[in-house]
Amino acid sequence: MLSLPHQLRVFVAVEPVDMRKQFDGLWAVARDHLGEDPKGGALFAFTNKTRNRLKLLYFDGTGVWVFAKRIEQGRLSWPIGSDTRKLTITPAAMTMLMNGIDLKQGTLKAWYER
């Protein structure tokens, strides 16, 4: 499990992304499609159409990190923003998403088990 600092900016790509993308592909999506500078110290979250994969992109000042998670059962509750490209959420909300908590209802998804 990742621990995200409370001052971290988190951008969620609302539209699905091809999960075959790696460092450069996700960097290009963050820069060109979301309109954000990946070197700005923010965390970028991406999912696929079926919402059973999650990738996070983060530049720590010395290099780029890509974190990946595959959901074995069920799917992620992905937020829908008014902006069709990105949504800004808190690090706490991102942690909840990664841990199987539905942000709308505040409950664990049925597939989540500790």
Handedness of CA 74, 43, 33, 55 (dihedral sign): negative
Instruction: Record the pTM.
Output: 0.87
Residue 39, strand partner residues: none
How are strands ordered across the β-sheet holding 53-59? Answer: 64-70, 53-59, 43-47, 10-13, 86-89
Domain residue spans of the chain: 10-108
- pLDDT tens across the length of the chain (114 residues): 678 899 999 999 999 999 999 999 999 999 999 999 999 999 999 999 999 999 999 999 999 999 999 998 888 888 776 667 899 999 998 998 888 787 776 555 555 555
Tokens representing residue 51 in the block: 């919402």
